Amino acid sequence: MKRIMLIIFIILLTGCGKAEYNTQYLDVFDTYTTFQAYCSSQQEFDEISQGLHSEMTRLNKLFDIYNDYEGISNLKAINDNAGKKPVSVDKDLYELIKAGVNAYDETDGYINIAMGSVLKVWHNYREEALASPEKAAVPSYDELSEAARHTDIGSIILDDDTMSVYISDKYTSIDPGAIAKGYAADRAREYLENKGVTAALLNLGGNVICLNDDSKPLWKIGVQKPEEGSSEYVYKLDLNNKSAVSSGNYQRYYMYNGKVYHHIIDKNTLMPADNNKSVTIVSNSSLEGDIYSTYLFILPYSEGSKIAEEKGFEAVWVDNEDKVTANVAQGK
pLDDT in tens, 287-296: 999 999 999 9
Whole-number pLDDT of residue 214: 67
The whole-chain average pLDDT of the chain stands at 91
Cβ count near 217 (within 10 Å): 14
pLDDT in tens, 40-99: 999 999 999 999 999 999 999 999 999 999 999 999 999 999 999 999 999 999 999 999
Whole-number pLDDT of residue 229: 75
Find the mean pLDDT for residues 286-309: 97
| Integer CA distances (angstroms), 295 to 14, 22, 35, 105, 221, in order | 33, 32, 27, 12, 22
| Nearest of 111, 79, 135, 99 to residue 255 by alpha carbon | 135
Whole-number pLDDT of residue 215: 62
Of residues 227 and 24, which shows the higher confidence score? 24
Q: Could you give the CA distance from residue 80 to residue 135 in angstroms, rounded to a whole number?
A: 29
227: enclosing H helix or E strand: none
pTM above 0.85, yes or no: yes
Of residues 301 and 249, which shows the higher confidence score? 301
- pLDDT over 90 for what percent of the chain? 81
| Integer CA distances (angstroms), 260 to 130, 177, 314, in order | 12, 19, 28
Whole-number pLDDT of residue 18: 79
Q: Could you give the CA distance from residue 65 to residue 62 in angstroms, rounded to a whole number?
A: 9
**Least confident interval from 1-15, 32-46, 209-223, 298-312:** 1-15
- Residue 227: pLDDT band (50, 70, 90) is confident
Find the mean pLDDT for residues 304-317: 95
Whole-number pLDDT of residue 231: 78
pLDDT in tens, 280-289: 999 999 999 9
Per-residue pLDDT at 15 exceeds 60: no
Of residues 182 and 327, which shows the higher confidence score? 182
Whole-number pLDDT of residue 36: 95
| Helices 42-62 and 91-106, packing angle to 10 deg | 70
| Integer CA distances (angstroms), 92 to 56, 193, 243, in order | 12, 18, 20
Find the mean pLDDT for residues 156-167: 98
Q: Are strands 233-239 and 19-28 parallel, antiparallel or unpaired?
A: unpaired
Q: Which residue ranges form the domains of the chain, and what is each CATH number?
A: 75-167 (1.10.3980.10)
- Residue 101: pLDDT band (50, 70, 90) is very high
**Bridge partners, residue 246, by sequence:** 280
